[in-house]
Amino acid sequence: MKQLLQHALSLCLCAILTAAGITATGQSEPHLEGEFIVMFHKSENVKAFASEKGIRWSEQLSGLSHIHLFRSEGSLDDEKVLRLLSSDKRVEAAQFNHVVQKRETVPNDPGFAQQWHHVQSGDHDIDSDL
């Protein structure tokens, strides 16, 4: 029984460490240096929050969802600031402000022009209603 308990605890520890590693490396895509998007559980005094954390409030991205953009001052390490923001109990989610690129969705198929029925630009759902 004691050996079963040790195996169970070892398995739980491995799962926790794996999840922590995934969380720590989940923000590796290119992002704007010193910019953070923070979502609060409820409405907060964001300027006081920023002052408390040593960062600067930039703008409100969504009032209904309590999402704000913050910028760090000077040479603060982005990873440390993100961990500091994420660990606050008032914060529901925090992430880097990632670079978004517009992507082309039209295939490069040379015969696509003959398949006009696949593109319905006035339709508000997924194309290709066959």
pTM: 0.60
At the topology level, CATH places domain 30-100 in Alpha-Beta Plaits (3.30.70)
Q: For residue 13, is pLDDT > 80?
A: no
User: Where are the alpha helices (H) located in the chain, listed in sequence order?
Assistant: 2-25, 46-53, 78-86
Average pLDDT, the chain: 79
- At 100-116, the pLDDT tens digits run 877 767 778 888 778 77
Mean pLDDT check: name the lowest of 44-48, 88-92, 93-97, 113-117.
Answer: 113-117
Which pLDDT does position 22 carry in this prediction?
A: 45
At 58, list the tokens.
Answer: 């930039």
Cα gap 83→87, rounded to integer Å: 6
At 21, list the tokens.
Answer: 């590693």
Residue among 31, 21, 20, 17 at smallest CA distance from 95? 31
Q: For residue 25, is pLDDT > 70?
A: no
